Structure 1
Amino acid sequence: MDSITAVPPALWCQGFFLGAAGGILALQVLPRDVRSTLMDYGARRPSDGSSSGGQKKTKAALLTSLASYGQVPHSWFWHFYVLSVSWSAFWAWQYVQRGAVMAALAEAQARSTAASPSMELGRVFLAWTMLAVQGSRRLYECFFVTKPGHTPMLFVHWALALAFYTALNISVWIEGSGTILESWKSQQPTVLLTSRVPSALAIFFAAWVKQNECHRYLAGLKKYTFPSGGVFSYLVCPHYTCECVIYLAISFMAAPPGSLLNTSVLCGLAFVAVNLGATAHGTKQWYAQKFGAEQVAGRWRMIPFVF
Structure 2
Amino acid sequence: MSSSSPSAIGSSLEDLLQPVVLLRAFYLAASLLAVPALRTRFLAYGSRATSSREGEQPPANHGSALHQLLDYAATIQVPHNYFTHFYITSVACSLFWGWKLQLWHARGQLQIVWALMLLQGVRRMLESYAYTSTSKSRMWFAHWVLGLAFYVTINIAIWTEEPARTPGDWATAAVVPAVLTAHALQHTYHGYLYRLRIENKGYQLPLPPSLPGILTHTHINHARPVLSNTTLQTLRTHITSTMAPKNKSKKDASSSTDDSSSKPKLKPATSINVRHILCEKHSKKEEALEKIRGGAKFDDVAREMSEDKARQGGSLGWKVRGSLLQDFEKVAYELEVSSVGKPVVGEVKTGRGII
TM-score of the pair, normalised by structure 2: 0.58
| CA contact 1:203–1:245 (8 Å) conserved in 2 | no
Instruction: Return the alpha-carbon distance in structure 2 between the equivalents of residues 198 and 177 of structure 1.
Output: 18
Which residue number in structure 1 is paired with residue 94 of structure 2? Answer: 88
Unpaired stretches in structure 1, ≥5 consecutive residues:
51-55, 99-119, 180-190, 296-307
Letter matched to residue 126 of structure 1: I
Which residue number in structure 1 is paired with residue 173 of structure 2? Answer: 198
Which residue number in structure 2 is paired with residue 271 of structure 1? Answer: 238
Q: Which has the higher helix share?
A: 1
Taking a change above 3 Å as real, the CA distance of residues 197 and 156 of structure 1, as seen in their structure-2 partners, is same
Question: Which structure 1 residue ranges, 4+ long, deviate > 3 Å from structure 2?
Answer: 1-4, 34-37, 60-65, 176-179, 230-236, 257-260, 277-287, 289-295
Instruction: Return the alpha-carbon distance in structure 2 between the equivalents of residues 221 and 286 of structure 1.
Output: 22
Residue-by-residue CA offset, 1:32-88 (whole Å, 9 max, x unaligned): xx85443211133233289xxxxx932299789724641111110000000010000
Which one has more relative contact order, counting CA pairs under 8 Å at least 6 apart? Answer: 1
In the TM superposition, residue 274 of structure 1 has moved relative to its aligned partner by: 2.5
| CA contact 1:218–1:227 (8 Å) conserved in 2 | no
1:207 corresponds to which of 168, 182, 189: 182
Residue correspondences, number: 242
Q: Computing the radius of gyration over CA atoms, which structure comes out larger, 1 or 2?
A: 2
Which residue number in structure 2 is paired with residue 24 of structure 1? Answer: 33
Letter matched to residue 202 of structure 2: T
Q: Which has the higher strand share?
A: 2
Does residue 78 (structure 1) correspond to residue 81 (structure 2)? The answer is no
Taking a change above 3 Å as real, the CA distance of residues 141 and 234 of structure 1, as seen in their structure-2 partners, is closer
Q: Secondary structure at the match of 1:261?
A: coil
Instruction: Return the alpha-carbon distance in structure 1 between the equivalents of residues 133 and 70 of structure 2.
Output: 25
In the TM superposition, residue 176 of structure 1 has moved relative to its aligned partner by: 3.3
Letter matched to residue 226 of structure 1: Y
Instruction: Return the alpha-carbon distance in structure 2 between the equivalents of residues 14 and 224 of structure 1.
Output: 44
1:245 corresponds to which of 217, 227, 239: 217
Instruction: Return the alpha-carbon distance in structure 2 between the equivalents of residues 159 and 122 of structure 1.
Output: 33
Which residue number in structure 1 is paired with residue 12 of structure 2? Answer: 3
| CA contact 1:124–1:176 (8 Å) conserved in 2 | no
RMSD, aligned CA: 3.8
Instruction: Return the alpha-carbon distance in structure 2 between the equivalents of residues 60 and 74 of structure 1.
Output: 29
In the TM superposition, residue 12 of structure 1 has moved relative to its aligned partner by: 1.6
In the TM superposition, residue 272 of structure 1 has moved relative to its aligned partner by: 2.2
1:40 corresponds to which of 30, 44, 58: 44
Instruction: Return the alpha-carbon distance in structure 2 between the equivalents of residues 65 and 123 of structure 1.
Output: 46
